[in-house]
Structure 1
Amino acid sequence: MAGRATYNVHLGEEWRRTALALRHVDRELPGQLRKAMRDAAKPAAEDAKRRVKSLPVHGRKHSGLRRRVASGVTIQAGAGRGLGVRIVTNMRDPQERNLPRYLDDPRGWRHPVFGNRHEWVQQHTGGSWFRATIAEHRPEMVRELEHVLGEAAETIAAATRG
């Protein structure tokens, strides 16, 4: 099973009521809402990918770890019971599932040198590439999501009036 690091934006009861009402008004609206939520989170996810790729690399040999971590950053959006948007990172290799979290820890981590259990090093990355990046984008994402919710509420109100 692949590992996962997640950053959630919890949207509250108003979002849930709106999503349920959307189902009764127009079958296409929940899909449009999911797309709008993904679009709101996209700048944060792209910035996280850019930052992990720019982490310092020491030495001549490297395994492409930063590229693999960046390729695992995705956006998940739900408009039903799981209403909300998540930015997650998954590693395909189960043995690497914790690496995104290690790379995000300013304290660093210890690991064997290319699998040699007799030679260990302390690795430092210089700070948070994931949590801090998403947190920087959070106010903008919340504003965009509130705008999306307002538009959905107007659509529902217009449909119930007409």
Structure 2
Amino acid sequence: MIGMSMRTGDDLRRISRELNRMNNAEVKKRFRKELRGAAQPFVPLVRNSIKAIPSKRPYSADGLRGQMVKATRIEVRTVGRDAGVAIRVDGRKMPSKMKSLPKGMEGTKRWRHPVFGNREVWVTQQSHPYFFKVVRPAAVAGRRAAARVVDSITHDIR
């Protein structure tokens, strides 16, 4: 799983605890929605970067790159130690035997496969980084957006 999280640390955990104590479903819903909205601009960046990975075949929604595009999502957690927003290309959402493809394409894990299914002949595939090269430059803006959401909800709680 390739991902990047936007957290504001203790502030987010504190707000999450306060929201749970308040037991106000409307505010909780708005908080999750606004956090998701802060991360939403990253998803098209990552998906377009995946589509631009060089290949001898044209892009297809059923192909490897198409499966990776489908596995790209936003995860919002407002409880627990890992409270925050994450953009992920989730290997668990990939088809069987392709679970490690996102890591392999990014270059964080070695990517080998049999040549046309021949288990006697294996090849190491070249990585094509697609995630961090588009997310890192925009991360500061994402953190600012998440901080604005936290500030807004803090103001509403008080």
Indicate the TM-score class for this superposition, using the shorter chain for normalisation.
0.7 to 0.9
Question: Which structure's CA Rg is the greater one?
Answer: 1
Name the residue aligned to 2:17. Answer: 20
Segments of structure 2 that go 5 or more residues without pairing to the other structure are none
Distance 1:95 1:138 in 2: 31
Q: Are the counterparts in 2 of residues 53 and 70 from structure 1 also a CA contact under 8 Å? A: yes
Bigger shift: 135-144 or 62-71? 62-71
Closer, same or farther in 2 for the Cα pair 1:22/1:154, shift >3 Å? same
Give how far 1:20 is off: 1.8
Q: Are the counterparts in 2 of residues 9 and 86 from structure 1 also a CA contact under 8 Å? A: yes
Distance 2:18 2:109 in 1: 46
Closer, same or farther in 2 for the Cα pair 1:27/1:110, shift >3 Å? closer
* Alignment map for 1:13-162 (pairs within 5 Å): 13-23=10-20, 24=22, 26-58=24-56, 64-81=63-80, 82-90=82-90, 91-105=93-107, 109-126=111-128, 128-157=129-158
Structure 1 counterpart of 2:70, one-letter code:
S
What TM-score, normalized by structure 1, do the two folds share? Answer: 0.80
- The secondary structure found in structure 1 opposite 2:53 is coil
Distance 1:46 1:98 in 2: 21
**Percent sequence identity over aligned pairs:** 25
C-alpha RMSD of the superposition: 2.5
Q: Are the counterparts in 1 of residues 111 and 126 from structure 2 also a CA contact under 8 Å? A: yes
Runs of 4+ aligned structure 1 residues displaced above 6 Å come to: none
Closer, same or farther in 2 for the Cα pair 1:37/1:59, shift >3 Å? closer
Give how far 1:125 is off: 4.3
Closer, same or farther in 2 for the Cα pair 1:94/1:10, shift >3 Å? farther
Distance 1:94 1:138 in 2: 31
| Residues matched between the structures, number | 152
Segments of structure 1 that go 5 or more residues without pairing to the other structure are 158-162
What TM-score, normalized by structure 2, do the two folds share? Answer: 0.82
